[in-house]
């Protein structure tokens, strides 16, 4: 009996995989009436096998009904049975313009079936095969190439796309950069834009985050090796916190994106859209792109487009989204815990009074928040003063303030623009270079060397100036390994960016050095801002930018850790010598 059930589960898995292939073929290629009927018929085969497989699992192990997955299975089975009933007995094709081609609900049910069956696969991760760094790098490479293939499907673009341009766009989306070689809004079809949106979401969170949590959710557990690998990638301090961390990451992401999408929708003028669906799609696309710090927009000139550049509520919403995304999931989670603590303390009395806790905000959060606030404030004042009579001249006083705030925060990996970037004054451009290089915060959707790295480097300079032998802040001492890692990240970033500038200046020697440097800094820090040369680069230069975007997203230090074999710790130390520095 068990052998028969295993065979059923295997059949259900491969049927669902074929269902996804049919799903991609359905949307990616134009179908004849006959082929469309075959695909529609096969969808129902996938759904039927999926229902049988789900019932069999509960028949084999009735205790599954006590787990959280039962709710998902119950709702998905009811949804699928409703689809069967509507088609077979009512005869309603329930056509809708909600999304893509009709009928969409059957395709959604097929997608749920695939997620359910795929999540039942037992992956036994072994560190002897891939270390966590190698697994992290490999996951991004796989998604980038899958994305490239999907963007090359005939129905993804209006006129077709070359492999280099598809690879560039996919890398830019997965690495949440935002640099584009073709206009997202006009070059890609709605199907292509949905692919890009999906790549941004997966790239911002990481495919391992989704896959691991879904696997844990459906199976109710994970192997010790899998938890060890995920603890390295999620920076969880305790092994038991791995999946709760993943849950918080997914929950925080979708909550912020939902609220952001609703605020964006409410800020839009319906006259700028041909239909309500377009307005909804715009809101969803830009809420995901903003929180993931991707910088992709369906508008040709980003938010500098007519009808949007004076929409200051929209700009404030986008700022809030990408700033929260750029703070990093651990910081946002820590801030939420701090707010909960303050509220409990405020409304607690008598026996239920909450005691004083001095370290609700941990050292990481304090350094990140102080650094982010300081950099943003200085950049805002400088941008407002420098560009007051230049790119800000067309705005009102309030508009100048909002646009200056946007211009001061977007270079730190967000990538949207509400001004003509190429028209900025030289001092402003130099400031943007620095902001792009610093980037967002650790464990966030943004890139750059990170705010904590910049803070540690600054604190180290101050410590040396005061004659201290260690870095101290908030009554804590920064560990030596953190200081060494910070300076390694700084050195590697300059090597990668410098190499990119040198190589592009060889392959595109007609381009201005300033423009090339801006492009490389933007690519490494996954910003997406450009002075307008991206689409005109040669194929070799595009490949270099692709490499820089990838390195900037996964970090050069992670790649080096993935390549070099770790040596075992040995109990000896050589005599210490000081080297002449200056």
Give the domain CATH number at 91: 1.20.120
CA distances from 371 to 93, 201, 324, 352, 457 (A): 56, 27, 14, 36, 12
Task: Based on the fold, state whether residues 12 and 146 are members of the same structural domain.
Answer: no
- Asked whether 399 and 308 are in contact (CB, 8 A), the reply is no
Task: Based on the fold, state whether residues 111 and 136 are members of the same structural domain.
Answer: no
Q: Is the pLDDT of residue 224 over 50?
A: no
Please write the tens of the pLDDT for every residue from 354-389.
666 667 788 888 888 899 999 999 999 999 999 999
Please write the tens of the pLDDT for every residue from 480-491.
888 888 888 899
Q: Is the pLDDT of residue 94 over 50?
A: no
Helical pair 329-346 and 242-267, crossing angle rounded to 10 deg: 80
Length of the chain: 582
Q: Is the pLDDT of residue 232 over 70?
A: no
Of 98 and 560, the one with more pLDDT: 560
* Kind and range of the H or E run holding 211: helix 207-219
Assess if residue 240 is contained within a domain. yes
Task: Based on the fold, state whether residues 145 and 193 are members of the same structural domain.
Answer: yes
Task: Based on the fold, state whether residues 136 and 281 are members of the same structural domain.
Answer: yes
Average pLDDT of the chain, as a whole number:
81
- Residue 356 DSSP SS3: coil
Please write the tens of the pLDDT for every residue from 145-174.
999 999 999 988 988 899 999 999 999 998
Task: Based on the fold, state whether residues 147 and 185 are members of the same structural domain.
Answer: yes
Residue 317 belongs to domain spanning: 132-322
Backbone angles phi, psi at 155, to 5 degrees: -85, 0
Given 274, 307, 322, which residue is the final one in a domain?
A: 322
Assess if residue 575 is contained within a domain. no
Q: What is the pTM of this model?
A: 0.85
Task: Based on the fold, state whether residues 236 and 165 are members of the same structural domain.
Answer: yes
- Residue 176 DSSP SS3: coil
Assess if residue 30 is contained within a domain. yes
Please state, in angstroms and rounded to a whole number, the distance separating the CA atoms of residues 173 and 431: 25
Assess if residue 486 is contained within a domain. no
Backbone angles phi, psi at 438, to 5 degrees: -65, -50
Given 270, 295, 322, which residue is the final one in a domain?
A: 322
Please state, in angstroms and rounded to a whole number, the distance separating the CA atoms of residues 396 and 398: 5
Averaged pLDDT, 281-302:
88
What is the model's pLDDT at position 505? 92
Averaged pLDDT, 211-236:
51
Which residues, in sequence order, are bridge partners of residue 473?
476
Please state, in angstroms and rounded to a whole number, the distance separating the CA atoms of residues 292 and 414: 8
Task: Based on the fold, state whether residues 145 and 22 are members of the same structural domain.
Answer: no
Please state, in angstroms and rounded to a whole number, the distance separating the CA atoms of residues 50 and 112: 10
Please write the tens of the pLDDT for every residue from 95-106.
444 333 446 778
Query: Among all chains, which residue has been given the structure tokens 């695909």?
Result: 39
- Asked whether 368 and 327 are in contact (CB, 8 A), the reply is yes
Task: Based on the fold, state whether residues 145 and 244 are members of the same structural domain.
Answer: yes
Assess if residue 386 is contained within a domain. no
Of 69 and 237, the one with more pLDDT: 69
Region class of 62: left (phi > 0), else alpha (psi between -120 and 50), else beta = alpha
What is the model's pLDDT at position 100? 34
Range from 31-40, 241-250, 399-408, 539-548 carrying the lowest mean pLDDT: 241-250
Please state, in angstroms and rounded to a whole number, the distance separating the CA atoms of residues 554 and 294: 15
- Asked whether 414 and 292 are in contact (CB, 8 A), the reply is no
What is the model's pLDDT at position 293? 85
- Residue 472 DSSP SS3: strand
Averaged pLDDT, 335-363:
73
pLDDT band at 405 (very low <50, low <70, confident <90, very high): very high
pLDDT band at 90 (very low <50, low <70, confident <90, very high): low
What is the model's pLDDT at position 207? 59
Please state, in angstroms and rounded to a whole number, the distance separating the CA atoms of residues 160 and 542: 18
Range from 202-216, 347-361, 423-437 carrying the lowest mean pLDDT: 202-216
Averaged pLDDT, 410-420:
85
Task: Based on the fold, state whether residues 286 and 162 are members of the same structural domain.
Answer: yes
- Asked whether 559 and 134 are in contact (CB, 8 A), the reply is no
**CB within 8 Å of 201: residues ≥ 6 apart:** 288, 292
pLDDT band at 218 (very low <50, low <70, confident <90, very high): very low
Task: Based on the fold, state whether residues 150 and 278 are members of the same structural domain.
Answer: yes
Assess if residue 479 is contained within a domain. no
Pair of tokens at residue 439: 């980037």
* Kind and range of the H or E run holding 477: strand 476-477
* Number of domains within the chain: 2
Please write the tens of the pLDDT for every residue from 473-514.
888 888 888 888 888 889 989 999 999 999 999 998 888 899
Assess if residue 228 is contained within a domain. yes
Task: Based on the fold, state whether residues 147 and 39 are members of the same structural domain.
Answer: no
Given 61, 93, 118, which residue is the final one in a domain?
A: 118
Task: Based on the fold, state whether residues 159 and 308 are members of the same structural domain.
Answer: yes
- Residue 157 DSSP SS3: strand
Assess if residue 477 is contained within a domain. no
């Amino acid at each position: 009996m068990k052998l028969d059930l295993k065979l059923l589960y295997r059949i259900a898995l491969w049927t669902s995989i074929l269902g996804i292939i049919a799903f991609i073929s359905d949307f990616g290629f134009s179908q004849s009436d006959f082929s469309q009927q075959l695909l529609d018929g096969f969808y129902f085969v996938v759904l039927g096998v999926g229902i049988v497989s789900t019932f069999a699992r509960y028949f084999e192990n009735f205790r599954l009904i006590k787990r959280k997955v039962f709710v998902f299975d119950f709702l998905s089975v009811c949804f699928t049975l409703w689809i069967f009933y509507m088609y077979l007995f009512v005869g309603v094709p329930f056509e809708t313009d909600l999304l893509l081609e009709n009928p969409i609900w059957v395709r959604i049910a097929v997608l749920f079936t695939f997620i359910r069956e795929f999540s039942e696969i037992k992956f036994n991760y072994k560190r002897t095969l891939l270390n966590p760094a190698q697994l992290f790098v490999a996951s991004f490479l796989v998604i980038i190439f899958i994305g490239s293939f999907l963007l090359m499907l005939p129905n993804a673009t209006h006129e077709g796309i070359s492999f280099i341009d598809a690879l560039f766009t996919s890398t830019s989306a997965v690495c949440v950069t935002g640099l584009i070689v073709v206009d997202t809004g006009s070059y890609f079809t709605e199907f292509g834009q949905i692919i890009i949106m999906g790549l941004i979401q997966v790239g911002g969170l990481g495919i391992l985050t989704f896959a691991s949590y879904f696997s844990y959710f459906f199976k109710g557990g994970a192997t010790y090796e899998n938890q060890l690998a995920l603890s390295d990638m999620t920076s969880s301090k305790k092994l038991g916190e791995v999946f709760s961390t993943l849950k918080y990451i997914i929950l925080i992401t979708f909550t912020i994106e939902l609220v952001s999408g609703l605020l964006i929708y409410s800020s839009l003028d319906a006259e700028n859209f041909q239909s309500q669906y377009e307005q909804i799609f715009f809101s969803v696309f830009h809420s995901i792109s903003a929180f993931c710090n991707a910088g992709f927009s369906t508008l040709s000139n980003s938010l500098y487009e007519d009808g949007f550049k004076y929409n200051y509520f929209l700009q404030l919403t986008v700022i809030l989204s990408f700033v929260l995304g750029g703070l990093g999931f651990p910081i946002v989670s820590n801030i939420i815990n701090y707010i909960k603590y303050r509220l409990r303390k405020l409304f607690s009395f008598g026996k239920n009074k909450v005691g004083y806790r001095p370290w609700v905000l941990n050292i990481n959060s304090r350094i990140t928040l102080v650094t982010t606030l300081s950099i943003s404030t200085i950049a805002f004042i400088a941008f407002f003063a420098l560009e007051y009579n230049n790119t800000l001249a067309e705005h009102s006083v309030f508009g100048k303030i909002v646009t200056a705030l946007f211009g001061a925060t977007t270079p730190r990996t967000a990538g949207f623009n509400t001004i003509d970037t190429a028209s900025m004054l030289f001092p402003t451009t130099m400031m943007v270079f620095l902001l792009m290089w610093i980037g967002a915060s650790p464990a966030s959707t943004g890139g750059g060397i990170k705010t904590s790295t910049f803070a540690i480097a600054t604190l180290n300079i101050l410590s040396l100036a005061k004659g201290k032998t260690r870095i101290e802040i908030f009554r804590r001492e920064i560990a030596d390994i953190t200081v060494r890692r910070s300076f390694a990240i700084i050195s590697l970033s300059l090597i990668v960016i410098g190499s990119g500038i040198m190589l592009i200046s060889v392959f595109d020697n007609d381009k201005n050095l300033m423009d090339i440097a801006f492009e490389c800094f933007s690519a490494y820090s996954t910003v997406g801002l450009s002075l307008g040369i991206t689409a005109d680069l040669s194929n070799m230069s595009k490949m270099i930018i692709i490499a820089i975007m990838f390195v900037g997203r996964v970090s050069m230090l992670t790649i080096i850790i993935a390549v070099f074999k770790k040596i075992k710790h040995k109990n000896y130390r050589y005599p210490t010598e000081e080297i002449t520095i200056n």
